[in-house]
Amino acid sequence: MTDYRPPLRDIRFALSHLVDLPGLQASGSFPNADPDLVFGALDEAGRFITEQIAPLCRTADKTGAKHSPDGTVTTPPGYRQAYKRFVEAGWPAISFPEEWGGGGMPFVVGLALAEMVTSADMSFSLCPMLTYAAVELLVLHGTEEQKATWLPRLVSGEWTGTMLLTESQAGSDVGALTAKAVPAGDGTYRITGTKIFVTWGEHDLTGNIVHAALARTPGAPPGTKGISLFLVPKHLVNPDGSVGERNDLVCVSIEEKVGIHASPTCVLSFGDDAGAVGYLIGEECQGLKYMFVMMNRARLHVGMQGLAVAEKAYQLALAYARERKQGTAFGAPKGTSSPIADHADVRRMLLLMRSQIEAMRGVMYQTAEYGDLAHCHPDPAKRREAADRIAILTPVCKQWGTDLGVELASLGIQVHGGMGYVEETGAPQCWRDARIAPIYEGTNGIQAADLVARKLTIGGGAAAQSLLAEMSGVAAELRGEAALAPIGEALAKAVATLQEAGTHVLGRLAASPNDALAAATPFTQMFGIVAGGWVHGRSALAARREDPEGREAFLQAKIGTARFYAAHVLPKVAGLLGEVTAGAETVFAVPVEALGG
Amino acid sequence: MTDYRPPLRDIRFALSHLVDLPGLQASGSFPNADPDLVFGALDEAGRFITEQIAPLCRTADKTGAKHSPDGTVTTPPGYRQAYKRFVEAGWPAISFPEEWGGGGMPFVVGLALAEMVTSADMSFSLCPMLTYAAVELLVLHGTEEQKATWLPRLVSGEWTGTMLLTESQAGSDVGALTAKAVPAGDGTYRITGTKIFVTWGEHDLTGNIVHAALARTPGAPPGTKGISLFLVPKHLVNPDGSVGERNDLVCVSIEEKVGIHASPTCVLSFGDDAGAVGYLIGEECQGLKYMFVMMNRARLHVGMQGLAVAEKAYQLALAYARERKQGTAFGAPKGTSSPIADHADVRRMLLLMRSQIEAMRGVMYQTAEYGDLAHCHPDPAKRREAADRIAILTPVCKQWGTDLGVELASLGIQVHGGMGYVEETGAPQCWRDARIAPIYEGTNGIQAADLVARKLTIGGGAAAQSLLAEMSGVAAELRGEAALAPIGEALAKAVATLQEAGTHVLGRLAASPNDALAAATPFTQMFGIVAGGWVHGRSALAARREDPEGREAFLQAKIGTARFYAAHVLPKVAGLLGEVTAGAETVFAVPVEALGG
């Protein structure tokens, strides 16, 4: 098995040409967004990840996390030490505010770092990822006291965080949750109930775990409007800041899953004795609103998992395809044995992987930058625009990115032929690990419904329109450069199809909402593919600007990859238009009783 | 977990309306092709499979096949007894000639039975499947003595068969194999070498295993022209027919795979002592030709695995979607909790599964019938036509069917939400098991190249043309019935696009073969989708004929499913046309050295 090598050059290219780091630094919100500082940090992080995290991945998958009847969870060999070093090196804190001990870099840089950690070992990466979400919540909604107590040790990673939403009867329908929170009279609450699917809900990496849990207070209205958010630590904290007594919650079991074996997915039971001590975050009955704010960032993070696992799968497939020789490729001298990468169909698979990975990286980094700009841009109109863009692109990144992650990891297996089915190569693990991402943090169906019903309608469709106009502008610019014109043609055509689809969906949303909901998934996919064409177009323009005479292989490969994407991937949107416009009538053409044959 | 229920009604519908059983019986080759006999047998088989095989599937996956250092392989609990009963009931023999103890039914009936076994437990099903291939070889190319010795016990399933092609350096490039066969002077040969990826190459289910192995005789020409085929039994057979001494071959290890855990995938070493005794089948240096004849049937069988696993995945997903309640579906009374099957996006996923499963079943049964007709039709021109059709449709069934198997099993996981990632539901096993099928028996890339380079060219394209003309005829017939016209419109459009793609590919094959090879995979996918529309159209016409007033829910569901397929699946071919016509230039736009970023 080939080790993971962080694609630092590709990451640097995206951060240099699709993202404006100097602009983020100039805003004053990210004192350390200077490109030299950022690239130095990412180089160093890449080294750390290669040496300390990537080597654990296969063994961790085989061993898995282990649950004991006493409620403890043991992580695979090497995880404790690697996590300790990860914290010591300061990597969890890189994109948090300096005031809480963070690195003062923008979110987009944190995402790039997280991409590398995820490629190296997705199970491991989930632990810091969930912590980011808890930090985000506290920064936005915590009291000063809460911030002082929890933030420094969450930012540093000394303690980890989780999100507790799901209960057995309340998955996509969060409003159905029944966990209770009763005021204890001293300002704290007592939490009872059972939460399932809690990622890294219990483990042995740190001295404490801080759960962000949704629960209902007495007399709260039913449904989503009666949900409050609580901070419920595994251990209480003494007034002097030291770790105190165990809170009343226990990990009852962990799931036996098809992938991310080393990431414990826990069933947590609260309040089997007197009730677990919980601290209200913000106001009562506002919990879901807070959670949604945080979920946007978490959803982009999950979208990135599609990218990260696909990158790892691509590296494995490429290494295999360069080494493995079978048959004589077209054009190779008769009787020679060619690397399978030289056969048209294998090369096509490799380019499908590479070009869609770069599309994902571009769109996701761009979306993360919008996240940063929405906070830091000096012009309120620009902040608004960035907020709208992140609102639109987040469900796209999550759905399109995670579906692609599975698809590309599967292609990676295929490139390996028979060896791809053997666990030893690592290719199946990529595919198994990637499969969770379309499910959690809001299923991809929920993402698509979100895009269609809540995001496309922002400003009566104006926000999406402005994004499409920007894409059309890039297409026009490409068409002005002879060498890039075919990319521009394909992009213009794809944007026009997306425009047609969007107009159709918006129209149906008003006239017959179920038509729009039936169209949501293919529409969101289409949006992702076109957005990928947009960033490929911008990359090609940048590469052309940097290297007008075509001398640098790396930059020319950016143009070649964009040309492949334009010729082989963008045309797929034409095939999705039929599904988008088909409507709900055919979806419900067979009554549910007759579906069983 | 819901148990598998054989879809006997759907199978009967396909065998009644897409296949002509009375015609096959009338040919005289299949004395027991009478529909009543066939459906009676399949009902009985369905009961047996439900009771004896399906319940083993989850435990067998968990336990897996176990290899011991002494070379033995132990199958999971229950397999020995189930296999014994399977043989006693006569199921392995159903579609073999009566003269060898078979059931005298056509291959298409054997395929229907195999579909049910595969859905119940794919690992288990592979053992009889490989045996079919060995029987086929002997029936076509064995001497009378070989037939008498081996056929009765292979037909009955008392012994099992295997296929030994792959060596570590010779996968897709079979011609690179180096196993040796040296004449022993007594008419037999001594075989030496190591074969890998041997499915069910060693096990404890039967008293003997009969390997069909490719090897090179001394002085044979290099490459594919120097390969001969040998029958190499695990145990020699004494003159009285009893099982004799152990042959010189041993199972060195089995692979640790991502799926089909209970199917031992063996590394077999031949001739570590004096050389394993092998019996030449047919003539020297003709081995690959014989193997290819047999592989056609095996490839259709593997295509069927995509169908079978998707059917199982669909049953699990449908049961879950009917039971699981989340949120209020559009149109349901406010405040009620709806089964998720009533949400448009979930229903869409269920219909994507169901409609594509029915498409696969139709195309595959039709292809199997062509296989029967190619042998039995009294008119030589019709035999020729059937042989051409099976030649064209076999790579389509294998590639399109197995890719769909993985895709639909993945959709099945998605329907389950979070539970879909948990092994207990059985959904992940479907997906893991299905993943081998696009790889073995010739990777899907090999299938696509076969279609484009060898099959599309039959009769200068006339054979494919005649099939497309038949599809157009069905489209015209549909357009003549008001209620079915939209299906006809969509089919006509899809056939026209396929026609355009086929003309393009044939043209490029002559002018610039690598363009055709770069287009092979999307072209083959397109062919499968359109063929699916063809059988859906025929099913809808049949349902309409049977039930003109729309009173039977089952038949109306056939029409509804065909309408869904026409609206949501057929339009995808438009999106594939771009990839088909993109050519090799963009595929090779990035030099191999620059692929790594």
pLDDT for A296 beyond 90: no
Per the listing, tokens 């940097």 go with A546
Taking a contact as any Cβ pair under 8 Å apart, which residues of chain A between 201 and 240 contact chain B? none
Distance between B324 CA and the closest CA of chain A, angstroms: 9
Strand, helix or coil for residue B489: helix
Computed over every residue of chain B, the mean pLDDT equals 96
Closest-CA residue of B relative to A591 is B557
B307's tokens: 């169908």
State the CATH number of the domain containing residue B26.
1.10.540.10
Cβ proximity of B92 and B156 under 8 Å: yes
Are A410 and B344 a contacting pair at CB < 8 A? no
Closest-CA residue of A relative to B345 is A518
Domain that holds residue A79: 8-156
Interface with chain A: mutation pick from B9, B62, B198, B258, highest number of A CBs within 10 Å: B258
Those residues with Cβ within 8 angstroms of residue B388's Cβ, 6 or more apart along the chain or in another chain: B458, B459, B463, B466
Mean pLDDT of B454-482: 97
> Would you say residue A485 lies in a domain?
yes
Whether B485 contacts chain A with CB within 8 A: no
Task: Mark whether B198 and B78 lie in a shared domain.
Answer: no
pLDDT tens-digit map of A17-48: 999 999 999 999 999 999 999 999 999 999 99
Task: Mark whether A36 and A152 lie in a shared domain.
Answer: yes
Cβ proximity of A101 and A91 under 8 Å: no
pLDDT for B1 beyond 60: no
Q: Return the pLDDT at A294.
A: 79
Antiparallel, parallel or unpaired: β A209-216 and A189-199: unpaired
Q: Which of B256, B271, B286 is the last residue of a domain?
A: B286
Whether A563 contacts chain B with CB within 8 A: yes
Closest-CA residue of B relative to A332 is B514
Q: How far is it, in rounded angstroms, from Cα B317 to Cα B420?
A: 9
Q: Which of A128, A156, A184 is the last residue of a domain?
A: A156
Q: How far is it, in rounded angstroms, from Cα B115 to Cα B361?
A: 9
Mean pLDDT of B508-536: 97
Whether A439 contacts chain B with CB within 8 A: yes
Q: Return the pLDDT at B293.
A: 77
Are B345 and A574 a contacting pair at CB < 8 A? no
Whether B411 contacts chain A with CB within 8 A: no
> Would you say residue A1 lies in a domain?
no
Task: Mark whether A258 and A123 lie in a shared domain.
Answer: no
> Would you say residue A303 lies in a domain?
no
Kindly report the number of other CB atoms within 10 A of residue A3's CB atom: 15
pLDDT for A228 beyond 60: yes
Q: Which of A126, A156, A186 is the last residue of a domain?
A: A156
R_g of chain A computed on alpha carbons:
24
pLDDT for B475 beyond 90: yes
**Number of domain units in chain B:** 3
Establish whether this prediction's ipTM goes over 0.90.
yes
Task: Mark whether A129 and A175 lie in a shared domain.
Answer: no
Q: What percent of chain A has pLDDT over 90?
A: 96
pLDDT tens-digit map of B355-379: 999 999 999 999 999 999 999 999 9
Task: Mark whether A140 and A13 lie in a shared domain.
Answer: yes
Task: Mark whether A194 and A142 lie in a shared domain.
Answer: no
Interface with chain A: mutation pick from B15, B61, B345, highest number of A CBs within 10 Å: B345
> Would you say residue B434 lies in a domain?
no
> Would you say residue B503 lies in a domain?
yes
pLDDT band for B292, please (50, 70, 90 cuts). Answer: confident
Closest-CA residue of A relative to B351 is A587
Smallest CA-to-CA distance from B393 within B407, B374, B421 is with B374
DSSP state of B167: B
pLDDT band for A453, please (50, 70, 90 cuts). Answer: very high
Q: What percent of chain B has pLDDT over 90?
A: 96
Smallest CA-to-CA distance from B70 within B258, B256, B246 is with B246
Distance between B377 CA and the closest CA of chain A, angstroms: 32
Task: Mark whether A149 and A218 lie in a shared domain.
Answer: no
Residues of chain B neighbouring A566 (CB-CB closer than 8 A)? 586
Cβ density class A559-579: b for 16+ within 10 Å, e for less:
bbbbbbbbbbbbbbbbbbbbb
pLDDT tens-digit map of B485-498: 999 999 999 999 99
Whether A197 contacts chain B with CB within 8 A: yes
Are A322 and B166 a contacting pair at CB < 8 A? no
Q: Return the pLDDT at B133.
A: 86
First-to-final CA distance of chain A? 45
pLDDT band for A507, please (50, 70, 90 cuts). Answer: very high
Angle between helical axes of A8-17 and A107-120 (0-180°, round to 10): 160
Q: How far is it, in rounded angstroms, from Cα A204 to Cα A155?
A: 18
R_g of chain B computed on alpha carbons:
24
Interface with chain A: mutation pick from B342, B425, B505, B568, highest number of A CBs within 10 Å: B568
pLDDT tens-digit map of A460-475: 999 999 999 999 999 9
Task: Mark whether B484 and B579 lie in a shared domain.
Answer: yes
> Would you say residue B559 lies in a domain?
yes
Q: Return the pLDDT at B334.
A: 92
Are B431 and A436 a contacting pair at CB < 8 A? no
pLDDT tens-digit map of B74-117: 999 999 999 999 999 999 999 999 999 999 999 999 999 999 99
Task: Mark whether B501 and B537 lie in a shared domain.
Answer: yes
pLDDT tens-digit map of A64-120: 999 999 999 999 999 999 999 999 999 999 999 999 999 999 999 999 999 999 999
pLDDT band for B502, please (50, 70, 90 cuts). Answer: very high
State the CATH number of the domain containing residue B221.
2.40.110.20
Kindly report the number of other CB atoms within 10 A of residue B432's CB atom: 26
